[in-house]
Amino acid sequence: MANTYRFGPHIIPASQIFFRSKYSLGLVNLKPILPGHVLVISRRSVPRFLDLNADEVSDMFQSAQRIGKVIEKEYNSTSLTIACQDGPHAGQSVPHVHVHIIPRRLGDFGNNDDIYDEIARNTKEYLTKDSDSVDIVGIGAALAAPPEKKGVDFDERKPRSEQDMAQEATRLAELLDQHQLS
Amino acid sequence: MANTYRFGPHIIPASQIFFRSKYSLGLVNLKPILPGHVLVISRRSVPRFLDLNADEVSDMFQSAQRIGKVIEKEYNSTSLTIACQDGPHAGQSVPHVHVHIIPRRLGDFGNNDDIYDEIARNTKEYLTKDSDSVDIVGIGAALAAPPEKKGVDFDERKPRSEQDMAQEATRLAELLDQHQLS
């Protein structure tokens, strides 16, 4: 098993990978928007969804389904946000195909404009502590801030420790193994 | 070929369907968030992504890829937003699996908080003129307004005519046929 994996220009340690399929990987986040927010990426480093072949597309979303089933339960949620920002003008900052999976439940962001502040805080790239790139989930935030035009004070949250991330990855990997066996 | 199709509780006329695969359909929108905003739905009416079998998952996203390639070009865009609100607490209002595909380009929503107003206006269900359900694209809007708690003045835009929608569906169907042959 490799010690590190490539995610666009980033090097991801194996400790942050909780899922491996033939063509896809599951990664935990340095700064999840909500608990359990993870990524599915293609093993092959290509920028666009359109660059994937049919087998890779199938594998990526069958993987997303398996991962979603596990994280929805593990994080006591009832729904999932599944989103791919495909290309820089859709808010993609890491030029490597990736799908966000976010466990959701009633009231997790309340019902008012507080969410907009939260989105703004969550737009800074969460994968590398020193990155200045921007990756935004979903159309709202994606539409709001093309990566070419930053300006908002994006991120006041502290990144998680590598230990926290590794622990979550280990836990999720165990759950996915159990799910596969059941 | 059927005259109508089911989308959750809604009946969709065949004139609004521009794409048919073994397990999926492509629909145009009554009120697209941006030009070319379309939906891919499963033929089988089930509420959750997790309800789809492996073949349906593969077909849905291979379809999304084919459709995305065509609409990105047709609408002079450079990127795609691809999003599935999977479950009511992720902003899904129509309980039938569907993926939003939205062509994107630089500056299509500018760089400021105007987007938030636009999202609010775009949250009302666009498929049926008399619907009061809410369907929101992407995590930002999805997080902002759980369907249980409406209150914002969602929608001031006029719905498109059935003729407009049928014309767009015909055009997209032609392009997809050409794409398949090429």
Number of H helices and E strands in chain B, helices first, is 4, 7
Give me the interface pTM, i.e. the ipTM: 0.80
Q: What is the pLDDT of residues B132-150, one digit of tens each?
A: 222 333 334 433 333 333 3
The verdict on residue B181 lying in a domain is no
Q: According to the model, what pLDDT value does residue A150 have?
A: 34
Question: Number of structural domains, chain A?
Answer: 1
The verdict on residue B179 lying in a domain is no
The model's pTM: 0.80
The verdict on residue B174 lying in a domain is no
Q: Which residues contact B30 (CB under 8 A, 6 or more apart)?
A: B126, B127, B128, B129, B159, B160, B165
Across the range B36-64, mean pLDDT stands at 97
Q: According to the model, what pLDDT value does residue B41 have?
A: 98
| Structure letter (DSSP) for residue A107 | T
**Nearest Cβ partner of A78 from B60, B89, B105?**
B89
The verdict on residue B178 lying in a domain is no
The verdict on residue A159 lying in a domain is yes
**Nearest Cβ partner of B104 from A62, A77, A89?**
A89
Q: Print the domain residue range for A59.
A: 4-165
Question: By CB neighbour count within 10 A (0-12 exposed, 13-18 middle, 19+ buried), where does B70 fall?
Answer: buried
Residues of A carrying an active site annotation: 98
**B33/A151 CB distance under 8 A:** no
Neighboring chain A residues of B88 at a CB cutoff of 8 Å:
78-79
The verdict on residue B172 lying in a domain is no
Which residue in chain B is spatially nearest to A48 when comparing CA positions? B79
CATH for B86: 3.30.428.10
Across the range B8-18, mean pLDDT stands at 95
Q: What is the pLDDT of residues A39-67, one digit of tens each?
A: 999 999 999 999 999 999 999 999 999 99
Neighboring chain A residues of B56 at a CB cutoff of 8 Å:
none
Across the range A33-37, mean pLDDT stands at 92
The verdict on residue B182 lying in a domain is no
Neighboring chain A residues of B79 at a CB cutoff of 8 Å:
85-90, 92
Q: Give the model's confidence band at A2: pLDDT under 50 very low, under 70 low, under 90 confident, else very high.
A: confident
**Is B87:B48 a contact under the CB 8 Å cutoff?**
yes
Query: Any known ligand binding at B46?
Result: no
